[in-house]
Amino acid sequence: MANLAQQFMSEITARQLERGFFCSSLSSSCSYAIQQSQQPGLLHLPPSPPALPILGHLHLVGSLPHVSLRSLAQKHGADLMLLRLCAMPAILVTSPHAAEAVLRTHDQVLASRPHSLATEIIMSGPCDIGFAPYGECWRQAKKLVITHLLHSNKVRSFRLAREEEVSMVMAKISEAAAAGAAVDMTARS
């Protein structure tokens, strides 16, 4: 009799777990679908040409990107245009008036960089002048670079090394020109 009661209780518990799992997965699926359906209306995105599912608008960018982007801008006739290059959304500014608004008025809003998981793993966080999002960390990194690497005294201190390197390259090119030989600029000497 005790075994029968225990078996009955385990069946009830298993049914309740199944029901609970089903209800929670159904409610989370519904809330995700509702959120996705409302999202494009909330973002007020600029116009965009038809895109492919994985590639986005990459197929529309030809061998001469500036020509194909100009023709897309003329075709869609807006100051701003949304392009998805694979998974990365990009806003294309197509008029001087919009470029001024973006670069002067809204510069701090658009100054940040996209978050990259690879950067976070490799660099132990994105606090680097090349990868940090715009904020206090980036400003501190920029201040360090300008103070210690790009300061006029520091740049002047490497003048002799730069001049020596340029004269070595010029001598190599002159020798090759006199011999009528091709110059391999990628080779280190």
pLDDT per residue, tens digit, the chain (189 aa), is 556 556 655 666 656 656 655 545 545 554 555 555 555 556 788 888 888 888 888 888 888 988 988 888 888 877 888 898 888 888 888 888 888 888 888 888 777 777 778 777 877 766 777 777 888 888 888 898 899 888 889 889 999 999 999 999 999 999 999 999 988 888 776
Question: What is the model's pLDDT at position 16?
Answer: 62
H or E segment and range at residue 25: helix 2-43
Report how far Cα 44 is from the mean position of its chain's Cα atoms.
20
Give the C-alpha separation, 189 to 182, whole Å.
Answer: 15
Which SS3 state, helix, strand or coil, does residue 158 take? coil
Q: Are 46 and 78 in contact (CB under 8 A)?
A: yes
CA nearest neighbour of 57 among 79, 80, 89: 89
Give the C-alpha separation, 119 to 137, whole Å.
Answer: 15
The terminus-to-terminus CA distance of the chain in angstroms comes to: 91
Question: What is the model's pLDDT at position 38?
Answer: 53
Question: What is the model's pLDDT at position 85?
Answer: 87
Question: What is the model's pLDDT at position 30?
Answer: 47
Burial of residue 59 (number of CB atoms within 10 Å: 0-12, 13-18, 19+): exposed
Q: Are 57 and 49 in contact (CB under 8 A)?
A: yes
Q: What are the b/e assignments for 166-185, b being 16+ CB within 10 Å?
A: eeeeeeeeeeeeeeeeeeee
Q: What are the b/e assignments for 73-106, b being 16+ CB within 10 Å?
A: beebeebbbbbbeeeeeeebbbeeebeeebeeee
Burial of residue 57 (number of CB atoms within 10 Å: 0-12, 13-18, 19+): buried
pTM: 0.47
